[in-house]
Amino acid sequence: MSISDKKQAWQDAVVAKNIAKAPERKAEFRTTSGIEMERCFTPGFDYPEYEDNLGFPGQYPFTRGVQPTMYRGRFWTMRQYAGFGTARESNERYKYLLQAGQTGLSVAFDLPTQMGYDSDAAMAAGEVGKVGVAIDSLADMEILFDGIPLDQVSTSMTINSTAAILLAMYIAVAEKQGVSPDRISGTIQNDILKEYMARGTYIYPPRESMRIITDIFAYCKDHVPKWNTISISGYHIREAGSSAVQEVAFTLADGIAYVEAALKAGLEVDEFAPRLAFFFNAHNNLLEEVAKFRAARRMWARIMKERFGARDPRSMMLRFHTQTAGCTLTAQQPDNNIMRVTIQALAAVLGGTQSLHTNSRDEALALPTEDSVRIALRTQQVIACESGAADSIDPLAGSFLVESLTDQIEKAATEYIEKIDRLGGAVEAISRGFQQKEIQDSAYAYQRAIETEEMIIVGVNRFTIQNEPQPELLKIKEEVEIAQKKALAAMKAKRDEAKVREALATLEKAAKGTDNLMPPILGAVKAYATLGEIANVLRDVFGVHRETVVL
């Protein structure tokens, strides 16, 4: 038997084995005309360049996907991002989404929660519950997940500066449900570097923030093994105006910085790397986005193997969540956003995402209504069940255009990473404003292309409608902030203040020393210390970051 025949036989066996373990997906693969198709098309291995860059799905360098059968085994996690107003209102939305067929939760927190302020803080005025759910203490977290079994649902939390606090709250809620930490699964974003370059919800200086992150890595390795301890995010880099190449390059450069920090903290690469996850944006250029995802997977596999000496194949896998592009949504003719989101979601699926959020049509105007959220979720379900895109393991592999784009994105992104390395790494490059300047230049060029009509945005600079009617919008009432402040005051009146002071003092001592911060944060959370109180202890010890002005 030739080498190619052996490889094909092995792949067929793996496919059969994985499909046998996933009875919810039909093994047959036929078109609507009854034409029987192969589940996985593979190149002829007479060409070494194909073997080096492509290989099989589920095998290094993972260009074609991180699982041997991809969506032939099971669909991606359909994880709609949601959160607004009070914990009770968001809890009702989560239950609605789960009943509608969503397979994972994704929590949006309001700005005060993201920035480490309680709802009664002066800095929180006017922002409570506006762009996400307000969480002040464990009491709010208990309400947020009331009636939702945390051993059965995977939860992603978009939180960075206060990620350790929110993770501690989630662990505490699970324990109250009788679920041990080793049984819960999910992801915290926990990616602070992109906050400095693209988003701005940072609190502490970079060095101290990196300490918190590596403490989370170490704690979860021993206590919460199913948890993805970081979601290294290109999404916000792209939202800030980067190109696809910059999104890949700056995201992977951040990933390199996190791995280096963890190694410096004494962790072994194969101890923590399998729990790293990534978060990417999906834009309108269908084939460029597909190639972007494939290039990112291949690059990360090589970085982990060749640069960091990882041996566990799971350490080399770039597993990622995708969200469709918020910055492409238009306030004009918002129904057009349904088509944009469909194209973007299809790109994510064809590119091999593990998890997907589809934006709603009205998000350029307000938080989405239930009708809009349902349409967004149905978009994923139609792609999964009706489009045929999930029937083949890697349907676009071997396309001259896609393979060429993949190679070119990899080459250009690698050049960026090499430039960042020469500057001293991602943290040093951020401190010099390198990535910020590159993103700003890209954003400016993009906007100029729209203004000059070099780039057509339907309904904005072409095919417009005069006096178009406004859709019905979801609005967060001022009463939400009032109610949240009252609930916070009531909780403080009932808690044991001596226990709170003791827990916060323990945290302060750990922050001034070298102990892992997660146990004292968990202790403070269980004593019902508020998010703001915990964040303020760390502010007092670590200080706060001041933004570098890029001229």
Whether residue 158 is contained in a domain is answered as: yes
Same-domain status, 82 and 46: no
- Domain CATH code at residue 152: 3.20.20.240
pLDDT at 38 > cutoff 50: yes
E strand map for 67-197: 77-78, 81-82, 105-108, 155-158, 186-188
Give, to the nearest 10 degrees, the angle between helix 286-302 and helix 400-422: 50
Same-domain status, 15 and 86: no
C-alpha pair distances (Å), 69 with each of 90, 393, 398, 507? 35, 6, 17, 46
Where is pLDDT greater, at 227 or 22?
A: 227
CB 314, CB 275: distance < 8 Å = no
Among the three residues 380, 402, 435, which one is the final residue of a domain in this structure?
435
Residue type at 65? G
CB 161, CB 114: distance < 8 Å = yes
pLDDT at 3 > cutoff 60: no
CA 363 to chain centre: 18
Q: What is the mean pLDDT of residues 179-197?
A: 96
Domain residues for the domain of 20 are: 3-53
Residue type at 434? F
pLDDT of residue 82: 81
Whether residue 274 is contained in a domain is answered as: yes
Model pLDDT for residues 478-492, shown as the tens digit of each residue: 889 999 999 999 999
pLDDT confidence tier of residue 104, bands split at 50, 70 and 90: confident
Listed in sequence order, the DSSP H helices in 265-369 are 269-272, 286-302, 313-316, 336-350
Q: What is the mean pLDDT of residues 260-284?
A: 95
pLDDT at 259 > cutoff 50: yes
pTM: predicted TM-score of the whole model, two decimal places: 0.88
Same-domain status, 87 and 37: no
pLDDT confidence tier of residue 101, bands split at 50, 70 and 90: confident
Whether residue 83 is contained in a domain is answered as: yes
Give the C-alpha separation, 5 to 18, whole Å.
20
Give the C-alpha separation, 458 to 135, whole Å.
38
pLDDT at 5 > cutoff 80: no
Same-domain status, 306 and 264: yes
Model pLDDT for residues 304-322, shown as the tens digit of each residue: 999 999 999 999 999 999 9
Contacts of 290 (CB under 8 A, 6+ apart): 347, 350, 351, 396, 402, 405
Q: Which two tokens stand for residue 21?
A: 């373990």
Find the angle CA(546)-CA(549)-CA(551) to the nearest 5 degrees.
175
Listed in sequence order, the DSSP H helices in 387-496 are 400-422, 426-431, 434-451, 479-494
CA 223 to chain centre: 22
The per-residue DSSP string of 515-538 comes to: S-SHHHHHHHHHTT--HHHHHHHH
pLDDT at 47 > cutoff 50: no
Give the C-alpha separation, 397 to 40, whole Å.
9
pLDDT at 196 > cutoff 80: yes
The tally of domains found in the chain comes to 2
Same-domain status, 13 and 136: no
- In the block, tokens 């700003």 appear at 440
pLDDT confidence tier of residue 291, bands split at 50, 70 and 90: very high
Among the three residues 435, 456, 491, which one is the final residue of a domain in this structure?
435
pLDDT at 176 > cutoff 70: yes
Where is pLDDT greater, at 504 or 82?
A: 504
C-alpha pair distances (Å), 276 with each of 279, 294, 514? 10, 17, 24
Listed in sequence order, the DSSP H helices in 321-432 are 336-350, 370-386, 400-422, 426-431
Whether residue 548 is contained in a domain is answered as: no
Contacts of 298 (CB under 8 A, 6+ apart): 53, 61, 62, 63, 406, 410
Give the whole-number percent of the chain exceeding pLDDT 90: 79
pLDDT at 86 > cutoff 50: yes
pLDDT of residue 21: 43
- In the block, tokens 């041996």 appear at 311
Helix (H) or strand (E) holding 281: strand 276-282
pLDDT at 378 > cutoff 60: yes
- In the block, tokens 């956003």 appear at 337
Same-domain status, 146 and 231: yes
E strand map for 10-66: none
Give the C-alpha separation, 183 to 113, whole Å.
26
CB 332, CB 450: distance < 8 Å = no
Same-domain status, 177 and 34: no
pLDDT of residue 6: 46
Task: Lowest mean pLDDT of 35-49, 95-109, 340-354, name the range.
Answer: 35-49
Task: Lowest mean pLDDT of 48-57, 100-109, 391-400, name the range.
Answer: 48-57
C-alpha pair distances (Å), 43 with each of 13, 40, 56, 97? 18, 10, 9, 41
- In the block, tokens 């566990």 appear at 312
Same-domain status, 42 and 158: no
Q: How many CA atoms within 13 Å lie on the side-chain side of 53?
A: 21
Q: Nearest CA to 96 among 137, 148, 53?
A: 148
Same-domain status, 195 and 81: yes
Q: Which two tokens stand for residue 206?
A: 């970079």
Same-domain status, 284 and 340: yes
Residue type at 380? Q
CA 295 to chain centre: 18
Among the three residues 435, 452, 485, which one is the final residue of a domain in this structure?
435
Q: Nearest CA to 295 among 189, 434, 396?
A: 396
Q: What share of the chain is helix, strand, coil (3-state, %, to 5)?
A: 55, 10, 40
pLDDT confidence tier of residue 48, bands split at 50, 70 and 90: low
Q: What is the mean pLDDT of residues 229-235?
A: 95
pLDDT of residue 31: 79
pLDDT confidence tier of residue 96, bands split at 50, 70 and 90: confident
Give the 3-state secondary structure of residue 317. coil
Whether residue 470 is contained in a domain is answered as: no
Q: Which residues pair with 280 in a beta bridge?
A: 322
Whether residue 148 is contained in a domain is answered as: yes
Q: What is the mean pLDDT of residues 339-365?
A: 96
Give the C-alpha separation, 499 to 229, whole Å.
29
Write b or e for each residue in 225-254: b if 16 or more Cβ atoms lie within 10 A of its Cβ, otherwise e: eebbbbbbbbbbbbbbbbbbbbbbbbbbbb
Give the C-alpha separation, 79 to 377, whole Å.
9
- In the block, tokens 């029937």 appear at 391
Strands of the 105-108 sheet, one edge to the other: 81-82, 105-108, 155-158, 186-188, 227-228
Same-domain status, 153 and 279: yes
Whether residue 513 is contained in a domain is answered as: no
pLDDT confidence tier of residue 406, bands split at 50, 70 and 90: very high
Same-domain status, 104 and 32: no
pLDDT of residue 52: 65
Where is pLDDT greater, at 6 or 181?
A: 181
pLDDT confidence tier of residue 467, bands split at 50, 70 and 90: confident
Whether residue 297 is contained in a domain is answered as: yes
Give the C-alpha separation, 149 to 185, whole Å.
11
